[in-house]
A and B are shown apart, each in its own frame.
Chain A
Amino acid sequence: MRKFGWFLVFLLLQTCTDPVVPVFQPESGFYLVEGAIVNQRGLSQVRVTRSEFRDGRFLLLTQEGLSVASVNEEGQEVQWLRDSLDPQLYLPPLSFAAEEGKRYFLRITTADGLMMESEPEEILTPVSIDEVDMVFEQRSYFRSALSRWVPAFQFSIDFTDPAGQENYYQVKYRYWEETRVCASCERGLWRDGVCIPDDRNMATWDYECAATCYGIRFGDENAIISDQFGDGGTIANLPVARLDHVRETGGLLFEAQLFNISRSAHDFIRVLRELSEDGGGLNATIPTALNGNLATVGENSEVPTLVLGYVSAISVATKRLYFDRRDIEGSPLPNQATPVEEPPLVDCPPPIGCPPRAPCTESRDRTPNPPAGWGG
């Protein structure tokens, strides 16, 4: 709504936007807690950090000795453990999936005994997606940086809002497409699974996958919608994603994710979006604190420790759509970057040898296994 201000920016053709040095007034000593308790295994997580200002830099630091647990309405407590790769991240046991209809909250206790809790939220019934649609537009949107219209795929979903209750939704997505590059090294060579510094490489070299590999991209744009003004109606053509058309060929498997969230979680995400996207323009939103649903418990202090962030209870439904780009009537965006492979030395003398191919290791970003729904 507030983007109208940009309208004037274009309209007047007399505006100018100058980059300026970002200046902060760092504040230390508050906790930032951000996460979700989800009804599907493997999706619950929470990130806990504490702000500090060191050497002129604002930092969100890992906290040692934290105890993190989810608690349901029956008082059952499940202890969450710190992730082995990311020390700020805490995960419940793999078997954990929150139960629909039950209320949950998160309890965090610091090493010095400070206790923080989120407000309890109910795991709502997931709302299924009826349809995922894709529309290709050769002139989808105008990108000022390129001074041209960009061809893109517009994805949208239809779903039926359950009547008789207020529902608030968050929409995310992910998609898979075959990827040729399974490793990249900046100013170095990729050998034996690691990048080795090398003076020959002044930029970045890419390494082809050893086998078929599917890259996974995530869209976490925090699109939100509610049925505040249309309870029980059909939500049709809800935009989920816009992906630029950059390749002539190749399949693409798109997964739309519909999260059923609480009203206050919806409002929190709205504020997040406003802070991230709506600060500009002539009529900017007044900056707002990320005040969510957490607070300290039983703290004896005149100035309570500030706990920012949100821990929401979420149920999720997904639906996928596959298509091949060769079936699209239109041309991709020209002049796209292509992989730059390491140029082999003549006869590949040791110890450098020939540029190797990289394995497609299962991870959050790629998989060697065709995802369900690949190929239609």
Chain B
Amino acid sequence: MVATLSGQQTYLLKVSVDDAESGARLGFANLQIAGTTTGGTTDDSGRWETRLAPGQYQVVASLIGYASDTLAFELTAPKELSLHLRPAAQTLNTVTVTTDDAQLRMTRALMGVEQLNIEEIKLLPLALGEFDVFKGLQLTSGVSSAGEASNGLSVRGGTLDQNLLLLDDAPIFTPTHLFGIFSVFTPDAVENINLYRGNIPARYGGRISSVVDVRNRNPNAEKFKLRGGIGLVSSRLAVETPLTRDKKLQVLAAGRVGVNDFVLRFSEELENTRSRFSDATLKLRWLANDNNIFTLSGFFSQDFYQLDLLTAFRGIIAENNQYAYQTLNGTAEWLRVLGERANLVTKVIRADHVPKLLFPELESDNVIEFQSGIRQTELRSTLDYRVGQHQLSFGGQLIRYDLKPGQLNPGTSNAVGFQQLDTEQGLEVSFYVEDEWNIGDVATLSAGLRYTQFRQLGPGTVRTYAPGEEIREEQLIGSEEFGAGESLQTYSGFEPRLGLSVKLTDRLRFKAAYALTRQYLQNIYNSTTPLPTSRWKLSDKFLQPQRAGLISGGLYAVLPGNGGYEISLEGYYRDIQNLLEYKPGADFFLDQSVETELLQGQGRAYGVELGLQKTKGQWTARANYTYARVQNLVQGNSFSTNINRGEWYNGYFDQPHTFNGSLNFDDGKNNRVGFTLVAQSNRPFTQPNGVVEIGDLVVPLFLERNNARMPAYHRLDFSWTVYNMSMRKKRWKGEWTLTAYNLYGRRNAINVYYQPRLGNGDEEVFLDSPLASYKLAIFGTPIISLSYSFTFE
């Protein structure tokens, strides 16, 4: 017992603040004893203490990104309190299987928002034992890929480039290693992933389908911490440690390296093939004082592959093909705490993606290099302000795009000369306001408005084609040059975002949402999925911004009992204008006038998503069923521009039925077992409308697109993790994970294709057809992987 100067007795009050979902201690949360001048900030381990006279009090905790929490207590003796802050609605999750936040999910106004945390993803059985953010996301409703190897995700039927992929706010343009086998995000750095596929908050823009917001951990270690692992394909290591004695400067450094060359050398066929990749994350966090936090986040990823293939390509004669691409991103963030109610976050973001194609010339030491690049530089500032039942945010965003569509460096080659396409520049200015308003106990309204203006900037050339004619090289009638900084084309508009959650009963809510989005940057490619080297293109005079309006509504219920059962039913309809399509035979390689190869049309996507999950107990489970369609309409005056006779046709990711289920068991001691089942309609493909022989070539004849569907996809995976093996708390903790991907060896089709028959094989299948047809599958057998992960602290 200690007396104050006045002699009144006081008691010690200890308060700890943590994240209600992850349990992570929250540093620098503001604490205020209501009705007094006593207050303070938690330290970096989430603790704060003070002394108070006996009495009745209320402590109010607040932190940017979290909803405030108030706890009433009576102090009659020394006391310890814990406050569990819920993530603020528009920045954090609605759904995790590992937390007991059903009530929060009920009240949130946002629809179509999913969060996966890293621990949840680590439970998933993975191909080749590699951690993969995307594989985790594919277990949520409405998310799929172009197959096992796909350079991105399709969300509610959208194309891969219609998703804004962010890693600590910096965009990722090539999100996968090994051309799509698994994602690039450094495993030991990632903390959680937010997927916005319904009501996209107004602070996000630039893509029409979804936002995938991947967050790396903030370094927050008391002591030096080391973690890592060894797997079949890659090995990884991460260090997290304070850099100063006061622990106000902390660092997280994590990396992963995959060098598969030594495996390839065992194969006579692949002895000249090369494959290497790596990624690394560095995050520095400096807690300057109670009101200022600075964070610096960097990400690096690189891939190199060599394909042993003699090539004659556009005048280039090469003994093999090499693909080399890298990403270098950085984010600097300054969080300024402006009292109890407001925070200002300012960020400077830079993303740089440089893909290269290398052609070692035949009988020469020279290497011809094709290089392209995309750089995005961004300044963003957001003010968050809490007043009454309103959580307000205001902000602005300035993005500068610099695209190098292609440059050919011949070296000493005589066959080709230096080539460079005109660079593209763009400036996107956006302002946004958001409000999440709790209307008593009855409803929650999330309203946002975003205004965005995009300007295509010079230097550049605007070509003019004969009016009323198809845009073709032959119809070019003139061009106009623009100087640096001059505006070539401007697009702008408002983007309203609305979300409403209405309480019907204590256990049942109705939700509805609307979002309008625009997209000024697109990936153009004439193949199943984009390559890392696929070209990016800004909107211009001919390529108008894609625009989508999404309306959705649904019911959410928590079932009676203590089982933690939840059920949700959600429907949506998305209308797309200026949808991007390609003319037959489009080729964008070093093409100065890509507008002659592009088409634009309309799209529509609609579906119903039914979800059921059990979140409590040793057994947890989730199951989703989705019925979803996506269709395109592209009309024109000629065969080349009138796709599928100008009628609606199935989109490239039209997969009507999808079922995902997962079942996990954790004995709470040292065993964790999980099963995952995925079953879905496969993607459309195109069956030929005939076959012709031209010269020596037997050629399938296609007059339409996406007129058939590949056989259904289904797969069962299994994982078993043994952790805490010694059953004692030790500084070195290791765990073994055994995974079986595609347990029953289903040969799921990733492509069905036609080609001339070679020899007389498989006559009983091909009969008298002049073309052979094959179904291509990868991972067609069970893939058993064993990996070891460790933590040392």
Binding site for B on A (CB under 8 A): 1-27, 30, 32, 34, 51, 58, 60, 142, 144-145, 149, 156, 218-223, 225-231, 233-239, 267-268, 270-277, 279-291, 306, 308-309
Contacts and interface: CB of A to CB of B under 8 A. Distances in A.
Contact of B699 (A221, A233, A238, A275): A275
A25 B273 contact: no
A229 B315 contact: yes
A21 B773 CA distance: 6
Interface string B663-677: 000000000000000
Nearest to A144: B269
- Interface majority SS on A: helix, strand, loop or mixed? mixed
A288 B585 contact: yes
Contacts, number: 268
Contact of B315 (A8, A226, A271, A308): A226
16 contacts: A7-B179, A17-B775, A22-B769, A24-B687, A24-B689, A24-B690, A25-B688, A26-B689, A229-B590, A233-B416, A280-B751, A281-B753, A286-B526, A286-B527, A290-B701, A291-B584
A4 B179 contact: yes
A102 B772 CA distance: 42
Contact of B762 (A19, A220, A271): A19
A276 B314 contact: no
B368 to A, nearest CB: 9
A238 B318 CA distance: 9
B686 A230 contact: no
A281 B696 contact: no
B694 A34 contact: yes
Contacts of B149: 8, 282
Nearest to B757: A22
Contacts of B585: 267-268, 270-271, 274, 288, 291
A11 B275 contact: yes
Contacts of B775: 17-20
Q: Which of B312, B413, B531 has the largest count of A CB atoms less than 10 A from its CB?
A: B312
B414 A236 contact: yes
B700 A287 contact: yes
B270 A11 contact: yes
A22 B773 contact: yes
A280 to B, nearest CB: 4
B328 to A, nearest CB: 23
Nearest to B527: A283
Nearest to B781: A14
Nearest to B756: A276
A283 B417 contact: no
A74 B270 CA distance: 57
B362 A237 contact: yes
Contact of A282 (B413, B419, B776): B776
A127 B93 CA distance: 66
A226 B312 CA distance: 10
B244 interface: no
B789 interface: no
A219 B696 contact: yes
B264 interface: yes
B317 A238 contact: yes
Contact of B269 (A12, A142, A274, A276): A142
Interface stretch (B203-211, B282-290, B613-621, B702-710): B702-710
B777 A18 contact: yes
Most chain A CB within a 10 A radius of its CB, from B408, B526, B704, B774: B774
Contacts of A228: 314-315, 590
Interface stretch (B303-311, B395-403, B712-720): B303-311
Given A8-B179, A290-B699, A229 B708 contact: no
In the A-B complex, list the 5 residue pairs whose CB atoms are closest, starting with the nearest: A230-B416, A220-B696, A22-B773, A220-B695, A279-B753
Nearest to A149: B268
B584 A271 contact: yes
B24 interface: no
Q: How large is the interface on B (under 10, 10 to 19, 20 to 34, 35 or more residues)?
A: 35 or more
A17 B774 contact: yes
A255 to B, nearest CB: 16
A226 B314 contact: yes
A244 B416 CA distance: 30
A12 B778 contact: yes
B695 A222 contact: yes
Given A9-B778, A237-B362, A276-B698, A2 B416 contact: no
B276 to A, nearest CB: 12
Nearest to A139: B268
B780 to A, nearest CB: 4
Contact of A4 (B531, B747, B783): B531
A234 B414 contact: yes
B416 A290 contact: no
A19 B323 CA distance: 30
Given A21-B766, A142-B268, A230 B313 contact: no
B762 A223 contact: no
A82 to B, nearest CB: 19
A228 to B, nearest CB: 6
A223 B317 CA distance: 12
Contacts of B582: 286
B315 A227 contact: yes
Given A12-B778, A229-B408, A284-B753, A275 B317 contact: no
B779 interface: yes
A61 B306 CA distance: 46
A351 B183 CA distance: 76
Contact of A26 (B690, B696, B702): B690
B699 A272 contact: yes
B59 interface: no
Contacts of A1: 313, 321, 357, 589
Given A17-B774, A276-B699, A10 B270 contact: yes
A90 to B, nearest CB: 16
Contacts of A222: 695-697
Contacts of B640: 289, 291
Contacts of A34: 692, 694
B752 interface: yes
A236 B750 CA distance: 38
A289 B305 contact: no
A223 B704 CA distance: 26
Contacts of B752: 20
B755 A277 contact: yes
A355 to B, nearest CB: 26
Contacts of B767: 21
A287 to B, nearest CB: 4
A306 B780 CA distance: 41
B53 interface: no
Contact of B273 (A11, A18, A51, A284): A11
A51 to B, nearest CB: 6
A14 B779 contact: yes
A133 to B, nearest CB: 10
Contacts of A17: 774-777
B603 to A, nearest CB: 16
Given A14-B779, A291-B584, A283 B317 contact: no
A280 B690 contact: no
B125 interface: no
Contacts of B531: 4, 283
A278 to B, nearest CB: 9
B254 to A, nearest CB: 26
Given A6-B307, A289-B701, 6 more contacts: A15-B778, A218-B696, A226-B315, A233-B414, A238-B317, A287-B702
Contacts of A309: 694
Given A11-B275, A282-B179, A22 B307 contact: no
A28 B506 CA distance: 62
A16 B697 contact: no
B463 to A, nearest CB: 17
Given A18-B747, A22-B769, A267-B587, A11 B264 contact: yes
Contact of A230 (B315, B691, B697, B779): B315
Nearest to B750: A282
B526 A239 contact: no
Contacts of B528: 282-284, 286
